[in-house]
Amino acid sequence: MLGKRLSLRQRVIATATVFFRRFYVKNLYCETDPFIVIAACCYVAAKAEESPVHIKNVVSESRIMFSQEGYGVKTFPSDNSKLAEMEFYLVSDLECDLVVFHPYRTLLTLCGREGAHALVAEAGEVGVGIDNGPRYWEEGPLQTAWFIINDTYRSEICLLYPPHMIAIAAIYLTLVLNEKTRDAIQAQAAPVPPPRRSSRTSSGSAHRKPAPAQQQDFVGFMAGLRVSLPTVAMIAQEILSLYTLWERYSDAAPESGPGGSGAGENSGEDVVTPAFMTRLLLRMREGRLADLAHPASGQPMNKRLERTQAAG
């Protein structure tokens, strides 16, 4: 949402998501402010992808968005220096490695033939390689695979597997989920009826029927990629599990959140909302601050005074 408010391209948003997940590989949610980390990730990703956004715009848009009812964050700093300081810590934890490769280029390379103009265009935009020039797939299946890749950034898949394997897994799922490609595969797997014999022969080439167009061999296409198909199947299974988990999330769910009495499509299961996640993060931070203020291994002050006096 913040990326859309800042008019960032899809590739920049994907890079910011990778930065956010890499940062929390080394840090804890309860010890940091995830909302200012999100703003810093968008700010740094825009710089890394050569689409910079002014720091004032990032701060103002973040305050407006996170203060809405869906999030309810009232403590987002208005000082630009706070975001600049967070940028320093973010780049440090990322070890200054800001180059991120995404599955989009692999998808366009495998399923579409890009022209010379597309090589220098934005690799993270769905329009590149779809409407221009010949392509292996039609627009519908290619967009389905594109949207599946977008969905993978909402999990740790982008950190666990190489980008080209994620793109191939998206292609594999599209072959199964898209109606056109699924029907084409089933038609290829069906037994071919034997040719009918005819006693009539054609006297001229004018009466000959044109040869049918050769169908795309999707199974042979996947087999010819020479990648680990068990790994592709594992990534596809994780994506399907992610979709199952999303059934518990709703942007427009009742405010009661998990444990509420609202029932709907989830058949009585708990519904997770952005407001609930915000309250959960705040409780985690408050609990962590309380633990640091009163550690379990700490001793009362009077005991320390007694030991000091005895030692003196």
What string of pLDDT tens digits covers the 312 residues of the chain? 888 888 889 999 999 999 999 999 998 888 888 889 999 999 999 999 988 899 999 999 888 888 876 676 777 888 888 999 999 999 999 999 899 999 999 888 888 645 434 443 444 444 444 444 344 567 778 888 899 999 999 989 999 999 999 999 999 898 888 777 666 666 666 665 666 655 555 455 445 544 444 566 677 777 778 888 899 999 999 999 998 888 887 776 444 444 444 444 444 457 887 778 878 888 887 787 777 777 666 555 555 556 656 665
Task: Please report, for residues 196, 197, 208, 213, the alpha-carbon distance to residue 204 in angstroms, rounded to integers and kept in the order given.
Answer: 20, 18, 7, 22
Residue type for position 37: V
Q: Same CATH topology for 2-93 and 104-189+218-246?
A: yes
**Residue ranges covered by each domain of the chain:** 2-93, 104-189+218-246
pLDDT for the residue numbered 153: 93
Question: What whole-number distance in Å separates Cα of residue 272 and Cα of residue 297?
Answer: 36
Structure tokens belonging to residue 17: 């998501």
State the Cα–Cα distance between residues 173 and 182, nearest whole angstrom: 10
Please tell me the distance from the alpha carbon of residue 138 to that of residue 178, in angstroms, as a whole number.
11
Looking at residue 33, its pLDDT comes to 85
* pLDDT score of 301: 52
Q: Phi then psi for 135, rounded to 5 degrees?
A: -150, 160
Say what the pLDDT of residue 65 is. Answer: 85
- Asked whether the whole model's pTM tops 0.85, one would answer no
Question: Could you identify the residue written with the tokens 């030991």?
Answer: 307
CATH topology of domain 104-189+218-246: Cyclin A; domain 1 (1.10.472)
Q: Provide the b/e sequence for 202-236 (b: ≥16 CB within 10 Å).
A: eeeeeeeeeeeeeeeebeeeeeeeeeeeeebeebb
Domain 2-93 has CATH 3.30.70.2660: no
Note the pLDDT of residue 169: 93
Other Cβ atoms within 10 Å of 8 Cβ, number: 21
Residue 52 carries which side chain, given as an amino acid letter?
P
Helix (H) or strand (E) holding 163: helix 163-177
Give phi and psi for 12, each to the nearest 5: -65, -40
What is the pLDDT, as a whole number, of residue 99? 92
Q: What is the pLDDT of residue 279?
A: 81
d(CA 309, CA 312): 5
